[in-house]
Chain A
């Protein structure tokens, strides 16, 4: 069949103050009807620029298509070179013959219009339908994307819908005019894993039903493995490799593709292994070989959390009185051993971050005890708490926001040491140097500012800062989630190496099951503020026993095209609200031990 899209030697430049910068160069690919082409690459690879060029939206971001052709077969069979099309023609094509889904369902919908209005606008414009016909079609569309209670949704505003439902509405909008090509730019990146699974399954079904072509942009190799027919791998504005999904995953030709694949943790690959294992990085085999067999450590409890509960007030009314409470953390108990990693996993809003922050008392817990090395953190006064912070440090998610842009890196790493008067003068400088070496940052970075570093380098600085005072516990709150996959693997390896060398304990807070499987000794699954299942990593992953753990694991995409899981419509139970009226006393958490150390919450 004739290709619906053929891009030939596309080149896009961006005008900047210091002359034109090339966004993408020499990009060529084709998409056949009914085919899903995945464009995958790390940040800055030009994958979004490519998709925006196809819609000619790149010009709104300051880019210009300076070379190449972008041929698109229109509905009437004529060929349109998008690169040379007039704005009027593009107006007819956009949203009509090419639909687009954006990353952030929160911002892709206009908050002041009802769902009905968002859907019917395009229909009335492109298809010339009248109001009644457009509304009928809108209803039909909402049914096709399997939104519950579609009649009611029409009259609602975007903020009344959950993230997953919003993304379904965005897809319904993109599908409204039955496009021949659907461009999906990171459509699930901002979503939780179960909702991601639902959306991916939905896109697959719509593609099957309508025979449209899909251009799918993502950074996630696991999603590529699940979705793609063919794959384009991009790096720094150029195409590295093109091939079918089997070819790319089973026999990659280019080194970059191989490195990228090696850096992706695959759910299930740790089966039968007792201890965490570092990632295999290309060019890093020596370091990996040096990984000693896990030392037989005496299992000694470092962190003991008992019945930790944290609630936030919901204020309302004219007097801003507390009208309800968010039960962010509800009766959570666990222990973490010296030199081990406990991972708290769960979806957004499950209370995993609040739990980590409550332990460090960055937010004040409502009740419960937190013992670190035999000291009750919850009972310390301000002065002693500050002193105790030397034992427990934190690494944050966003390496761009967790470093002060106005301070030199050496000063930021030195700060914790100065806070506790551990060293000064030459000794302090030597300690900072040693920390930079430890996290493998070049010494010339000492006098630099954060903006001069990449995301991965900044996260190394954040780790160096956390290590500065020789803590026993590090709470890593989504510490690798914002990083590109190859950088993520390096940072994870560094963290594991530091754990082996220094006997650190990590409380790893993450939504990424594949990462957790790789690095954790113990896993706690959180849902609605409670731990629903906790135990050794192997036990939880091999024998998930709580229904929520099961559904979570079944929703994780696997970076292996031979293990496809999102063929049919999926529907996971939406997470209910953790907001309860004042005075609500939830039942305590009661657990059944189903295997040694493996506990499951009794329903």
Chain B
């Protein structure tokens, strides 16, 4: 555990583990209908002993909803970001490394996608494919790809000009091996940072899709859906926004700290 000696890394890992634990164990321990059961006597109840995190406008318990929503939100966000990395990494890498004509073609394609707001793009994809979790993931994943591809291309462009890449080329290393052995490890820090930031946006993007009826379908719970639903009642029941908002914030915080640690672990210079 010596590598995690920094308190920052420790906090990040503890936070992430706790959230993952909640997301995995929650659905096992809590009956599925706990998130949809309505307590009509306690609508918009502030936090009490019966409802520790309060209830929403339909009297549904916020604690259960946030616990059961964790899985949906994280599943969608993580899958979508993984997908955008899988698509964006080779795109950006090839574009930045080879440059010239290939770069021009690929980047104009990416620019076309960038011209649409990410959410609008996701919305279109989701509307075409139909609303379910799998399609939500695809929609968000595709919508986020151009941002990742752009950042990776920039990094690859920088690294491709480093003398160690030229040295590898002059010693007969093939282009594919140069990309895998020399370029990829050197752009990984940027990918990790961008990936962890994207996760936070993916959680919110899922919320946007859900709000428009294309993501998670009510009455199932997701953090994004909960934040959207709280919009009209921020003044009278602020906890309905605060509880899922805090869940998103803690997840992002944990991820960012973890991302930093991951970057340091991968960097031989930081040891």
Interface on A for B, CB 8 Å cutoff?
360, 362, 386-387, 389-390, 392-394, 396-398, 401-407, 415-416, 419-420, 449, 451, 462, 465-466, 468-469
Residue of A whose beta carbon sits closest to that of B164: A404
- Asked if B268 and A416 sit within 8 Å, CB to CB, the answer is no
Going nearest first, the 5 A-B pairs with the smallest beta carbon separation are A406-B185, A416-B171, A449-B268, A389-B172, A402-B163
Please, which residues of chain A bring their CB within 8 A of the CB of B173?
415-416, 419
Given contacts A403-B167, A415-B181, A466-B171, 8 further A-B contacts (CB under 8 A): A362-B166, A362-B170, A387-B172, A402-B166, A405-B267, A406-B267, A419-B171, A420-B172
Cβ-defined contact, A389 with B171, below 8 A: yes
- CB contacts (< 8 Å) of B177 on chain A: these are 419
Within 8 A of A (CB), among B158-185: 162-164, 166-174, 177, 181-182, 185
Task: Kindly name the residue among B173, B182, B185, B268 whose own CB sees the greatest number of chain A CB atoms within 10 A.
Answer: B268
Contact A419 B269, beta carbon cutoff 8 Å: no
Q: Please list the residues of chain B having a beta carbon within 8 angstroms of any beta carbon in chain A.
A: 162-164, 166-174, 177, 181-182, 185-186, 266-269
Select B170's contact among A394, A403, A405, beta carbons within 8 Å. Answer: A394
Residue of B nearest to A387 (CB): B172
Contacts of B172 in A (CB 8 A): 386-387, 389-390, 416, 419-420, 469
Chain A residues with CB below 8 A from B170, complex form: 360, 362, 389, 392-394
Q: Are A393 and B171 interface neighbours, CB within 8 A? A: yes
CB-CB under 8 A for A469 and B185, given A401-B163, A404-B164, A449-B269 = no
Q: Would you call B182 and A396 a contact (CB within 8 A)?
A: no
- Per DSSP, are chain B's interface residues mostly helix, strand or loop, or mixed? helix
Residues of chain A with a CB closer than 8 A to B267's CB: 405-406
Nearest CB in chain A: distance from B188 CB, A: 8
Are the CB atoms of A405 and B269 closer together than 8 Å?
Answer: yes
CA A451 – CA B267 in complex, angstroms?
A: 11
Q: Would you give 28 A-B contacts (Cβ < 8 Å), ordered by A? A: A360-B170, A362-B166, A394-B166, A394-B167, A394-B170, A396-B163, A396-B166, A402-B166, A403-B167, A404-B168, A404-B185, A404-B186, A405-B186, A406-B186, A406-B267, A406-B268, A407-B181, A407-B182, A415-B168, A415-B171, A415-B173, A416-B171, A416-B172, A419-B171, A419-B172, A451-B268, A465-B167, A466-B171
| Residues of chain B lying within 8 A (CB to CB) of residue A404 | 164, 168, 181-182, 185-186
Distance between Cα atoms of A419 and B164 in the complex (Å) = 15
Cβ-closest chain B residue relative to A402: B163
Distance between A188 CB and nearest chain B CB, rounded to angstroms: 25
Q: B167 touching A396 by the CB < 8 A rule? A: yes
In angstroms, Cα B167 to Cα A419, docked, is: 13
Instruction: Report how far A431 CA is from B162 CA in the complex, Å.
Output: 27
Residues of chain A lying within 8 A (CB to CB) of residue B171:
389, 393-394, 415-416, 419, 465-466, 468-469
B164→A403 contact, CB < 8 A: yes
Which chain A residue shows the least CB distance to B168?
A415
The answer to whether A401 touches B162 (Cβ under 8 A) is yes
- Residue of A whose beta carbon sits closest to that of B173: A419
Distance A416 CA – B181 CA, assembled complex (angstroms): 13
Count A-B contacts at CB 8 Å: 74
Distance of A280 from chain B, by nearest CB (Å): 31
Known contacts A407-B185, A415-B181, A416-B172, A401 near B164 by CB under 8 Å: yes
User: B268 to chain A: which residues have CB within 8 Å?
Assistant: 405-406, 449, 451
Note all chain B residues with C-beta closer than 8 A to A466: 171
User: In the assembly, what is the distance between CA of A402 and CA of B170, in Å?
Assistant: 11
Chain A residue with the shortest CB-CB distance to B185: A406
Cβ of B182: which chain A residues have Cβ within 8 Å of it? 404, 407
Q: Residues of A contacting B163 with CB < 8 Å?
A: 396-398, 401-402
Complex Cα spacing A401 to B266, Å: 19
Residues of B within 8 A of A419 (CB): 171-174, 177
Across-interface contacts of A449 in B (CB, < 8 A)? 268-269
Whole-angstrom CA separation of A466 from B167 in the bound complex: 9
CB A337 to nearest CB in B, in angstroms, measures 22
The complex places the Cα of A462 from the Cα of B164 at a distance, in Å, of: 10
Among B163, B173, B177, B186, chain A packs the most CB atoms within 10 A around the CB of B163
> CA A398 – CA B161 in complex, angstroms?
13
Residues of chain B lying within 8 A (CB to CB) of residue A386: 172, 174
CA distance A398 to B171 in the complex (A): 17
Q: In the assembled complex, how far is the CB of residue A444 from the closest CB belonging to chain B, in whole angstroms?
A: 16
Chain B: which residue is nearest A404 at the CB level? Answer: B164
CA distance A390 to B172 in the complex (A): 7
Residues of chain A with a CB closer than 8 A to B185's CB: 404, 406-407
The distance in angstroms between the C-alpha atoms of A362 and B171, with both chains bound, is 11
Given A362-B170, A389-B172, are A451 and B269 neighbors across the interface (CB < 8 Å)? yes
Nearest chain-B residue to A405 (Cβ)?
Answer: B269
CA distance A38 to B163 in the complex (A): 34
**Residues of the A chain whose Cβ atoms lie less than 8 Å from the Cβ of B167:** 394, 396, 402-403, 462, 465
* B169 close to A362 (CB less than 8 A): yes
In the assembled complex, the CB of A353 is this many whole angstroms from the nearest CB of chain B, namely 11
- A401, B170: Cα distance in complex, Å: 15
Query: Closest CB of chain B to A474's CB: distance in Å?
Result: 10
Closest Cβ of chain B: how far from A281's Cβ, in Å? Answer: 28
Q: Nearest residue in B to A406 (C-beta to C-beta)?
A: B185
A468 vs B169: C-alpha distance in the bound complex, in angstroms? 14
A484 to chain B, nearest CB (A): 19
CA–CA, A469 to B174, complex, Å? 16
Shortest B183–chain A CB gap in Å is 9
Residues of B within 8 A of A397 (CB): 163
Q: Which residues of B contact A387 (CB under 8 A)?
A: 172
CB closest residue in chain B, given A386: B172
- How many whole Å from B103's CB to the nearest CB in chain A? 14
Q: List the B residue with the shortest CB-CB distance to A397.
A: B163
**What is the minimal beta-carbon distance from B179 to any residue of chain A, in angstroms?**
12
Residues of chain B contacted by A401 (CB below 8 angstroms): 162-164
Minimum CB distance partner of B188 in chain A: A406
Chain A residues with Cβ below 8 Å from B166 are 362, 394, 396, 402
A481 to chain B, nearest CB (A): 13
Give A215 to B177 CA distance when docked, in angstroms: 51
Report the separation of the CA atoms of residues A404 and B186 in the bound assembly, to the nearest whole angstrom. Answer: 8
Residues of A within 8 A of B266 (CB): 406
CA distance A362 to B160 in the complex (A): 13
Chain B residues in 8 Å Cβ range of A402: 163-164, 166-167
Q: Which residue of B lies closest to A389 (CB)?
A: B172
Considering the chains assembled together, what is the distance between the CA atoms of A360 and B166 in angstroms? 11
Contacting residues, chain B, for A393 (C-beta < 8 A) = 170-171
